[in-house]
Amino acid sequence: MAAIWSMGPGTLEVPMSLFQKNRQRLADKLKSGEVVILQGGEDISHYDTDIHYVFRQEAYFTWVCGVKEPGCYFALDVKTKKSYLFVPRLPDEYEVWMGKLLTCAQFRKIYAVDEVYYVDELHTILKSMNPDKLLTLTGPNTDSGLTAKEAAFDGIDEFNVDNETLFPIIAELRVFKTPEEIEVMRYVCKVSSDAHKQVMLYAKPGLKEYQCESVFLDHCYRVGGCRHVSYTCICGSGDNAATLHYGHAAAPNSKTLEDGDMCLFDMGGNYAGYAADITCSYPANGKFTDDQKLIYEAVLNARDAVIREAKPGVKWTDMHLTANRAMLQHLKEGGLLKGDVEDMINHGVNAILQPHGLGHLIGLDVHDVGGYLPHCPPRPDGPLGRLRTARVLQSTMLLTIEPGCYFIDKLLDRAQADPKLSRFFNWERVNSFRGFGGVRIEDDVLITDDGVENLTFVPRTVAEIEEHMKNGANFK
């Protein structure tokens, strides 16, 4: 029987052939005589205690083998195309506290790798392969500024180690999703979309933001088998919706939803390591005011413009500006802005109202790798430097499209004080939106041969949202 992983009936069965294919794609890019060695994630304890964070596997490690346990290594011999998993040799006592110890043969079957050994055999087995080069993985994560942790083990200095070849190759491969990976992304986006729809039905004035968060977590886990979400849920209502990374320790989604608030809920489930990242914005009471509708539809126009125009060959930086133009035009028609839209962009009005980039690559990391690899367009100077990639779109890339419009006091004050920016705003109108918060609309989309496939299925128009919040209890 083909090896699969799932969280049980009703959840997606992920075939281990997904990871076999990734290994094949990797081997095809490397030379005979090279052996890849990756080190998986380790269990991390809460400070000095014996309590651990729920383990999350490192994403490159997941990409090559899908292994869920901590403390492992993985090797791929390019000459033979054979895959090797190395698991920790755990003491008998483990069985008393943690359950049955799996044998190497069992691991081999579960993960459909060619051979399994214990980590203490790693050095000997690698020696027996007699590689010309041992390829380790290290390189910059251009979103976090951190560095991928290179494999290390006793005796590695006896090998000819090359830590430069692998990183750009494997990061580039991760940018392009296989049909098997796209199936997992479809699933996790559907589960996350349904969870957002449940929150939308539940939300009402008087509830806490974290109560809405808990409905999302419940649906993702109970119905979709997603033990993790991809990032800390951002559940801002009212003015909190203008805090881009709300929901952190000092602002833990703890405000009460008020009648008249907009909600901006940015949440995504995670299944088999694959991330969703979806944002819905709607009135807490289920009915848009004219002002809420104006801002919402400005952002929706931006999203629609990108969905219309995104396709292979198009630059992501151009899509960002397409979104900005559509939004600024709508705000101008709504009386918040004045002047020429191109002029506004040249002076940075777009970055006052939407300080972040249009979106990002998504996959095994929510801000997925490959945004600025050496062969790609470099990070632009100036305001476009905020974008997480400046790449040209290609088929089978997966990205988020997430335009937004926020009323952030600090940025509005800056614009008001700067004559070059100030002249584009109708301040009487704009100042009446201070405290409004903001709107973001975020979809996860696949670039196809001639456009995009949207993997997100939530009510998006004003009419759809109002209908769902009023009558959506039996949604499918």
Interacting residue ranges for Mn ion, rule: CB under 5 A: 277, 400
Among residues 192 and 400, whose Cβ is nearest to Mn ion? 400
Closest CA to 397 of 356, 358, 368, 357: 368
SS3 76: strand
Instruction: Give least dist CB 423 to Mn ion, A.
Output: 32
Closest CA to 322 of 342, 338, 306, 310: 306
Among residues 228 and 293, whose Cβ is nearest to Mn ion? 228
Closest CA to 411 of 257, 243, 295: 243
| Nearest residue to Mn ion on Cβ basis | 277
Instruction: Give least dist CB 11 to Mn ion, A.
Output: 24
SS3 8: coil
Among residues 40 and 268, whose Cβ is nearest to Mn ion? 268
Instruction: Give least dist CB 366 to Mn ion, A.
Output: 7
Among residues 55 and 231, whose Cβ is nearest to Mn ion? 231
Helix (H) or strand (E) holding 332: helix 316-333
Q: Phi and psi (nearest 5°) for 199?
A: -65, -40
Instruction: Give least dist CB 400 to Mn ion, A.
Output: 4
Instruction: Give least dist CB 315 to Mn ion, A.
Output: 19
Instruction: Give least dist CB 405 to Mn ion, A.
Output: 16
Closest CA to 285 of 407, 202, 404: 202
For residue 129, give Cα distances in angstroms to 36, 151, 155, 184, 465: 11, 17, 15, 34, 59
Q: Residue 412 carries which side chain, given as an amino acid letter? A: L
Instruction: Give least dist CB 314 to Mn ion, A.
Output: 19
Among residues 57 and 400, whose Cβ is nearest to Mn ion? 400
Q: How large is the greatest C-alpha to C-alpha distance in the chain, in angstroms?
A: 75
Q: How far apart are CA 154 and CA 133, in angstroms?
A: 17
Instruction: Give least dist CB 47 to Mn ion, A.
Output: 30
Among residues 171 and 234, whose Cβ is nearest to Mn ion? 234
Among residues 294 and 361, whose Cβ is nearest to Mn ion? 361
**Do the beta carbons of residue 400 and residue 362 sit within 8 Å?**
yes
Helix (H) or strand (E) holding 97: helix 93-98
Q: How far apart are CA 36 and CA 30, in angstroms?
A: 9
Among residues 213 and 277, whose Cβ is nearest to Mn ion? 277
Among residues 399 and 408, whose Cβ is nearest to Mn ion? 399
Q: How far apart are CA 444 and CA 268, in angstroms?
A: 10
Residue partners of 453: CB distance under 8 A and separation at least 6? 445, 446
Instruction: Give least dist CB 266 to Mn ion, A.
Output: 7
